[in-house]
Chains A and B, each alone.
Chain A
Amino acid sequence: MKQAIRATELAALVPDGATVMIGGFMGVGSPERLIDALVTCGRRGLTVIANDSAVPGVGVGKLVTAGAVVRLVASHIGLNPETQARMNAGEIAVELVPQGTLVERIRAAGVGLGGVLTPTGLGTPVEDGKPVIEVEGRRYLLETPLRADVALIAARRADYVGNLEYFLTAQNFNPVMAMAAKLVIAEPEHIVPVGVIPPDAVRTPGALVDHVLGRAT
């Protein structure tokens, strides 16, 4: 049984300088209330691992605008001009990672693998400085695991033990990130009694979830 926690309390669990994974794809499936709480309490120095920085005012974009992010690991920043501007001004260090590599690096951390071998990025700037390993006559880049202090997860529904269910394209990075951080905080749209989410529909078992954000009051 998880206890529902308020956004203000959750923000206190994410200290300045933390590495934070944030689910979402262009803000779809992003934990907006948790992000708002981080902005409100004035967090600084965060390393954010996310697919993209959305657009200003949405998802990770809010943290960028608030000056909370010093390092961003993402596959795409092109639709948020503020990220580009802050990168050019030296305020945010951006590591661009191919999207499929990003999700597998996160997954590797979550499932106890020492990295992944991928052909993506060979012969491009992504290859720079990385070992190239040949397996069965094919060349691959060695990509290392990405882990975080905290993962902020958006879900459609959570039950009282923290089982999570996702909806349509709001899944994206959420179920993978929920395995790759020391502390996992879920922001469900609805909280339902145990049993309402059928076992086959549970995508993130409650055993992985540390806290569930309570209903907005």
Chain B
Amino acid sequence: MTDAREVIARRVAAEIRPGTLVNLGIGLPSLVANYIPADFGVFFQAENGVIGMGARPPEGMQDPDLTDAGGGFITAVPGAAAIDSAMSFGLIRGGHIDVTVLGGLEVDERGRLANWMIPGKMVPGMGGAMDLVTGARRVIVAMTHTNKDRPKIVARTELPLTSARPVDLIVTEMAVLAPTPDGLRLLEVAPGHDAAQVRRATGAALSD
């Protein structure tokens, strides 16, 4: 069976239009870049301060001053720009990022994302996630459908929200969902699954 993360990354990549400015979160979302053709004219922003992030550099050629938001070594593509944090988050909050792809802990029935802390267990901090969800023109959540068989898409989340703004699309290895004013809509079922399976693995009502 194909790896769930690869299924998700490939499906999200199909959402990315040519010539756009895209911010990918660390972890699973960063895999999306593997499925975007180099000649697509997409620039990837890393919020620590670069537009035009490229692939990993060859071994031994890493520059300690050129990294992604996870601190990993990157390259810069032709046309890249280096920016400070105020410019970087001005772009994010100001609506200049076309698409952001973020991981998620839970999404509620209104499409609101929680992805920055589990009270009493894990308090990593929100980093740039709150600004990205609030300010990017389109927000896509890329995450596995369940966590150890527990639904991650739920009617109500007990977790602190990342933003009050609903996300635009949720892509999992089982389905593609879109929040609407009337709740979550099931747009697509991934090959190898059926709608009944998706509904059983989801903790919120899904309309067709």
* Nearest neighbor of A55 in chain B, beta-carbon distance: B71
Query: Do A28 and B127 have beta carbons less than 8 Å apart?
Result: no
Does residue A60 face the partner (Cβ distance < 8 Å to B)? no
Does residue B21 face the partner (Cβ distance < 8 Å to A)? no
Q: Write out the residue numbers on chain A whose beta carbons fall within 8 Å of the beta carbon of B37.
A: none
Query: Do A99 and B89 have beta carbons less than 8 Å apart?
Result: yes
Query: Do B71 and A28 have beta carbons less than 8 Å apart?
Result: yes
Query: Do B130 and A126 have beta carbons less than 8 Å apart?
Result: yes
Query: Do A171 and B135 have beta carbons less than 8 Å apart?
Result: no
Q: Which of A75, A94, A100 has the most CB of B within 10 A?
A: A100
Q: Which of B69, B122, B130 has the most CB of A within 10 A?
A: B130
Does residue B155 face the partner (Cβ distance < 8 Å to A)? no
Query: Do B125 and A78 have beta carbons less than 8 Å apart?
Result: yes
Main secondary structure of the interface of A (DSSP, over half): mixed
In the assembled complex, the Cα of A165 lies from the Cα of B177 at a distance in Å of 46
Query: Do A104 and B89 have beta carbons less than 8 Å apart?
Result: yes
Residue among A94, A99, A170, A171 making CB contact with B127, cutoff 8 Å: A99
Query: Do B85 and A173 have beta carbons less than 8 Å apart?
Result: yes
Minimal beta-carbon separation of B78 from chain A (angstroms): 15
In the assembled complex, the Cα of A21 lies from the Cα of B48 at a distance in Å of 17
Residue among A104, A120, A168 making CB contact with B50, cutoff 8 Å: A168
Q: Write out the residue numbers on chain B whose beta carbons fall within 8 Å of the beta carbon of A118.
A: 93
Q: Write out the residue numbers on chain B whose beta carbons fall within 8 Å of the beta carbon of A172.
A: 48-49, 84-85
* Nearest neighbor of B47 in chain A, beta-carbon distance: A99
Query: Do A26 and B86 have beta carbons less than 8 Å apart?
Result: no
Query: Do B85 and A27 have beta carbons less than 8 Å apart?
Result: no
Interface residues of B in 7-59 (CB under 8 A from A): 46-50
* Nearest neighbor of B114 in chain A, beta-carbon distance: A124
In the assembled complex, the Cα of A173 lies from the Cα of B66 at a distance in Å of 15
Chain A: how many interface residues by the 8 Å CB criterion? Answer: 47
Q: Which residues of A contact B (CB under 8 A)?
A: 25-29, 51-52, 55, 74-79, 84, 87, 94, 96, 98-101, 103-104, 107, 118-126, 156, 166-176, 203
| A-B pairs with beta carbons under 8 A, tally | 143
Query: Do A103 and B63 have beta carbons less than 8 Å apart?
Result: no
Q: Mark B115-142, 1 if CB is under 8 A from A, else 0.
A: 0000000111111111100110000000
The stretch from B99-107, B161-169, B183-191, B195-203 touching chain A is B161-169
In the assembled complex, the Cα of A181 lies from the Cα of B47 at a distance in Å of 24
Q: Write out the residue numbers on chain B whose beta carbons fall within 8 Å of the beta carbon of A173.
A: 84-85
In the assembled complex, the Cα of A109 lies from the Cα of B176 at a distance in Å of 44
User: Can you list 10 pairs linking A and B with CB atoms under 8 Å apart?
Assistant: A25-B69, A28-B64, A52-B127, A79-B124, A119-B134, A122-B163, A124-B130, A168-B66, A169-B65, A169-B82
Query: Do B85 and A103 have beta carbons less than 8 Å apart?
Result: yes
Residue among B71, B125, B135 making CB contact with A119, cutoff 8 Å: B135
Q: Mark B62-98, 1 if CB is under 8 A from A, else 0.
A: 0111110111000010000011111001101100000
Query: Do A77 and B84 have beta carbons less than 8 Å apart?
Result: no
Minimal beta-carbon separation of B108 from chain A (angstroms): 12
Q: Write out the residue numbers on chain A whose beta carbons fall within 8 Å of the beta carbon of B70.
A: 26
Q: Write out the residue numbers on chain A whose beta carbons fall within 8 Å of the beta carbon of B93.
A: 100, 118-120
Query: Do A99 and B82 have beta carbons less than 8 Å apart?
Result: no
- Given A100-B135, A172-B49, 12 more contacts at CB 8 Å? A26-B70, A76-B127, A78-B127, A84-B123, A96-B123, A100-B89, A100-B130, A100-B131, A101-B131, A166-B82, A169-B48, A172-B84
* Nearest neighbor of A107 in chain B, beta-carbon distance: B86
Q: Write out the residue numbers on chain B whose beta carbons fall within 8 Å of the beta carbon of A94.
A: 123
Query: Do B128 and A124 have beta carbons less than 8 Å apart?
Result: no
